[in-house]
A and B are shown apart, each in its own frame.
Chain A
Amino acid sequence: MTAPPLTSGTAAVPDAAGHFGRYGGRFVPEALVAALDELDREYRAALADPTFQAEFDRMLREYAGTPSLLYRAERLSAEAGARILLKREDLNHTGAHKVRNVLGQALLTKRMGKPRVIAETGAGQHGVASATAAAYLDLECVVYMGELDTQRQALNVARMRMLGATVIPVTSGSRTLKDAMNEAMRDWVTNVDRTHYLIGTVAGPHPFPAMVREFVRGIGVEARQQCLELTGALPDAVAACVGGGSNALGIFHAFIDDADVRLYGFEAGGEGIETGRHASSITGGSAGVLHGTRTYVLQDADGQTQESHSISAGLDYPGVGPEHAWLNDIGRARYEPVTDAEAMSAFQLLCRTEGIIPAIESAHALAGALRIIPALTAELGREPTIVVNLSGRGDKDMHTAGRYFGLLDERQG
């Protein structure tokens, strides 16, 4: 059984070898090529198989709680001077869009007959989602997490262990997400026969960027339909935050051929691009190879990966999915940095106007959307409609937010 060719709107990308223009492809040890070829065959066959699709849809609906709402944020809209529609991925089980990807890959793992999944995680969100899917589908789960991150996100470590996963702190390199990804790759090379590497975003070697896109693109399919029903028209713009880029690509994808819908990806600007302390791979990085794919990378002149910085752990990654690099270069989507301070201000605004505490990642998308309103209003000559992907909820971020806004009663000791 073969699946239809992959497309991004009308453009046939990626090509058979996983290239999005000059980006993507496979920069991996030969030992992994057979597994990647197998995965490529299997996920395409799965997507063409009505039984798999039906099961995936059922899990998303009955277990994850999709379709997520498209919510007309009235008070926020009045405050902002634009009609803002929030795609409520924060209401999904596990609290983020990531559940879509992990359910898809975990179901595929079952189909391939592999008993074990491994995952990398930064803040722990993808790790928690993976541990959840593994518990749900009875798979063994090992999560690699930088040692620094296990200390910063102790609660998520406990959550993963509670769900039955093994969490392995990674002590090499910078002891953060990128090193966790290296360690997961090493595990995969060693145990590839019985293990699927459940990558958490639209990055990594082919076919991961295309496959993960397929599992998350329901976000945009739903949002497009919901926006038409709610407003009678398509939105003027769609905004999403970009770490690796899965929630952004997930919501962009259904709109690629709608030329009048502007697509905005907001990267983590950290303390500001000019300070060098940021995670804006597209705005502040350059083309290179990282984690098996060619894309924009934060790197020095020798091609050594540089550390990224963001108040949002989920955006704190020195690379980005290759399809975003391509969408940037062809001009179909625009990518701009949003600083920590801008994101936290939008975070507070959403709490106060709508009673919704967003993930700090998602607050970047909202801050970016607020920024583009004046220019968009001037260009259109009317109030714009903007769909913002609220990729996750902020429970996990309360410690950071509490400290940032001075809300914690600091005790001694």
Chain B
Amino acid sequence: MSERSIAVAFEKARAEERALLVGCMPAGFPTVERSIAAMTAMVESGVDVIELEIPYSDPVMDGPVIQRASDIALAGGVRVADALRVVEAVTATGAPVVIMTYWNPIEQYGVDAFARDLAAAGGTGLITPDLIPEEAAEWLAASDAYGLDRTFLVAPSSTDERLAMTVAHCRGFVYATALMGVTGARERTSEAAPILVGRVREVTDLPVGVGLGVSTGAQAAEVGRYADGVIVGSALVRTVLDAPDEASGLAALRALSTELAEGVRAVRS
């Protein structure tokens, strides 16, 4: 395990007998500086790891909340290079930062160049929602060269064979998309999630993060009972999106982060 690996954070949470809280935010939403302030507030309120999404014009895995935030960031002129600047700034707070990105921006930046610059900025690795291992030869090589984590997604529809293959290509942690569908807060968490996590555990010791749908502390506690990491996106982004001004947005973001952090610390049964 490299020192930079997100697995270090997972181990720490495991030692504390709790799940890790991963909070997502698009880079440059609503501006680069304000996105850094938002992520810093999240870390100060108990979010363990920041998942930084690089805004993309065609985010097919994202629901309306993250789409809108991405559109706002892009309209503000955010560049891929800005995302690296955010990685550096947020890493300085002490929290690991993992990037979540659709593939085309990385391909255009240059896969090797991006891996080099991400490592230099202190990022842990990439979550790649539209890259499957079969198409990832260049990224496999670059992530090896720069010691970066790589997280591919598994889904309830993945066959056993594909699940084992996909997990074998992961480093750092495995991302279980527990619901068939796009990102977005949901009232109920998925019954498919624990089953999927169980299937992953049969083929790996890597930590498993569960995403899609969590919006409350109670849901975070529930997911934290069977998953190593609870990944929260839309609910956090919405606090900023819906706020009338920056100060109230940050306050709401802190409040929800705190609630979620308490959720993942609820005693495991």
- Report A's interface with B, CB cutoff 8 A: 17, 25-35, 172-173, 178-179, 182, 185-186, 189-190, 192-193, 288-292, 297, 299, 301-305
Contacts and interface: CB of A to CB of B under 8 A. Distances in A.
B71 to A, nearest CB: 7
Given A28-B132, A30-B177, A189 B61 contact: yes
A179 B180 CA distance: 20
B146 interface: no
Given A288-B108, A303-B107, A304-B74, A173 B57 contact: yes
A291 B103 CA distance: 11
A248 B235 CA distance: 45
9 shortest interchain CB distances as A-B pairs: A303-B108, A31-B155, A303-B104, A303-B105, A190-B181, A34-B157, A289-B104, A304-B57, A185-B60
A288 B135 CA distance: 13
B190 to A, nearest CB: 12
Interface in B20-71: 56-61, 63-64, 67-68, 71
Given A30-B177, A178-B58, A185-B60, A173 B155 contact: no
B181 A189 contact: yes
B108 A302 contact: yes
Nearest to A28: B130
B42 to A, nearest CB: 25
19 contacts: A29-B177, A30-B154, A30-B157, A31-B153, A31-B155, A31-B157, A33-B158, A34-B162, A189-B181, A193-B180, A288-B107, A289-B104, A291-B60, A302-B80, A303-B56, A303-B80, A303-B104, A303-B109, A304-B57
B226 interface: no
Interface in B177-234: 177, 180-182
B10 interface: no
A305 to B, nearest CB: 4
Given A290-B58, A304-B74, A189 B130 contact: no
Contacts of A305: 57-58, 104
A27 B130 contact: yes
Contacts of B80: 302-303
B104 A299 contact: yes
Contacts of B263: none
A54 B103 CA distance: 41
Given A34-B157, A186-B182, A192-B180, A29 B108 contact: no
Nearest to B80: A302
Interface centre among A26, A27, A30, A305 (most CB of B within 10 A): A30
Contacts of A182: 58-60
Nearest to B78: A302
Interface centre among B71, B155, B162 (most CB of A within 10 A): B155
B159 A297 contact: no
Contacts of B159: 34
A330 B33 CA distance: 47
B245 interface: no
Given A172-B71, A189-B182, A190-B180, A29 B60 contact: yes
B193 to A, nearest CB: 13
Contacts of B108: 288, 299, 301-303
A30 B60 CA distance: 12
B58 A173 contact: yes
Contacts of A172: 64, 67-68, 71
B173 interface: no
A245 B129 CA distance: 27
Contacts of A304: 56-57, 74, 105
A305 B103 CA distance: 12
A193 B157 CA distance: 10
